[in-house]
Amino acid sequence: MSKPAAVNPSAQMRLLSMLASLVFSVPTAALIWLGVNKELAYWGGFLDSRYLVMTVVAFALAALLFPLLFPSLLGAIWRAVLKVQQWWGW
């Protein structure tokens, strides 16, 4: 039986992954930022919009560096958001 070939992501695959990450990570980052700011509003705090931009850039870098891992990473983030949502009672 032959071994499966190792997947070596090409530059095109990395760029497509980064483009797809922007489609999914911008709403994800915005919802996380809004949710955290909503909770901080009760305590008198607020996160600047720089944190939103930094989160989007971090997601784009993760998609560029780890194109095969990024969908699993984003899925784990959404599962964590749903758990926090249930915990905070949104």
Taking a C-beta distance cutoff of 8 angstroms, is the pair 30, 52 a contact?
yes
Coil vs helix vs strand at 82: helix
pLDDT band, very low/low/confident/very high, at 79 (cuts 50, 70, 90): very high
Amino acid letter, residue 44: G
Reply yes or no on whether the pLDDT at 1 is more than 60.
no
- The pLDDT tens digits for 44-61 are 888 888 988 898 888 878
Q: What is the model's pTM?
A: 0.69
> Among 2-11, 16-25, 54-63, 72-81, which is the least confidently predicted range?
2-11
Reply yes or no on whether the pLDDT at 5 is more than 70.
no
Query: In angstroms, rounded to a whole number, what is the distance separating the alpha carbons of residues 72 and 58?
Result: 15
- The pLDDT tens digits for 10-56 are 778 777 777 777 788 888 888 888 888 888 888 888 888 898 889 88
